[in-house]
Structure 1
Amino acid sequence: MSRRGLVAQTLQMNSWIVATSQDLRPPRKMSKKSHFDMRLKEVILNVYKYETQKKSLTTAADDIVEEVALKIGICKRSVYKVVREYRARHSFAALLTNQNRKRCIHLVNHGNTSTIRRKVHQFFFRNELPTIDNVLKEVND
């Protein structure tokens, strides 16, 4: 029997039990390696503001943050960070891009690059670890 069928049967047998298939599923979590873009930060802040307006003044801030975290599917710490960032700047900072980053490999011409690569490969052929000191010693010799 499927889970929904089991819930429907439970509802028919015990009319006082109120459970739906929504209650049986855990909240959807975000992946750990993703960052919060400005839109998501605004959503978190809007839900936080809504919950603070909805709750009374005697409700603890931790309870409000926990409610926001459950609704959005993020951890409480992330909610605290977003709210703290907004309180400090009254806006959200855009993410920094690394598109103009210079790579070290472009500072050396092609002939020297191939020589350095050959030296590093020789370390692997000898089953040694190519540390910077060892590579510099080999290249300078």
Structure 2
Amino acid sequence: MAEEESVNKRPRRAFSSTEKLMMLNMFNSFKTASPSASHNEICKTVASSMGVSWTSIYRVISEKKTNANLRSPKKKKTRLTVCDKIDDFTKCAIRRIIHSFFLRNEIPTLDKVLSKIEEDGSLGSFKRTSLHLIIREIGFKFSKRCRNSMLTDRDDIFFWRRNYLRDIVKAREVGKNIYYLDETWINEGHTMPKVWSDTTITSARAAFMSGLSTGLKNPSGKGKRLIITHVGSEDGFVEGALLVFESKKDGDYHKEMNSDTFENWFKGMIEKLPENSVIVMDNASYH
């Protein structure tokens, strides 16, 4: 049994009224020049000359018999998007409103941006869904927050890191217990896994030249903040050495972790470590 072959049908081409008239005139010209030729032969000759299918010639002749005037295909109307309906001034104003949140290190949600637009009064009225489309159209994307920072290798950092690695190697060679100490924080701003970021700002210089910002800094968002201090090693955290207290300020948490608080905690924590231990910490002022 012969295999069945699937043939994709070529889509029918739409011709303008000028192209149809050219086909019809050529058909009449060939018919006048060769009165003995059949209808099919003339159609195929015209199709070959014009580089179209012979069925297209048939359709044009049939259309002329039915309608006195040959018509061009209807053009599809292009619908304007929400972003097409607003001018560049409004787009720039919305961009600056979003960057005003970045400069305050506050997360720009749709509701907050919409509220600012309404307060302005000169930018018009937008629905929440329309504003979402506009923000995307002008170059923002709603993406997962990136907390990676590029290491800047200044000379002092390079030598500091080299000396640290040498000291750690020596401590390991003599069998010392190495513990790592640090502080951190957590606040309500960390519950936002995704935020708006401006994809048109590619560098700090571009942001400066445009009078805009480079985006949100971490942490961002208002709310209660807990300051956490702990120490641990490759075997895990030291039991009973955790220090957690609530921050009373919205600024840098280092202002509340002062030398008195740190020293009181450190005295109690160091008694929990075995002898012959090394504690690794950064160069915070209270350390």
User: Which bracket does the TM-score occupy, shorter chain normalised?
Assistant: 0.3 to 0.5
TM-score by length of 2: 0.25
Q: Give the structure with the higher percent strand.
A: 2
Q: Give the structure with the higher percent helix.
A: 1
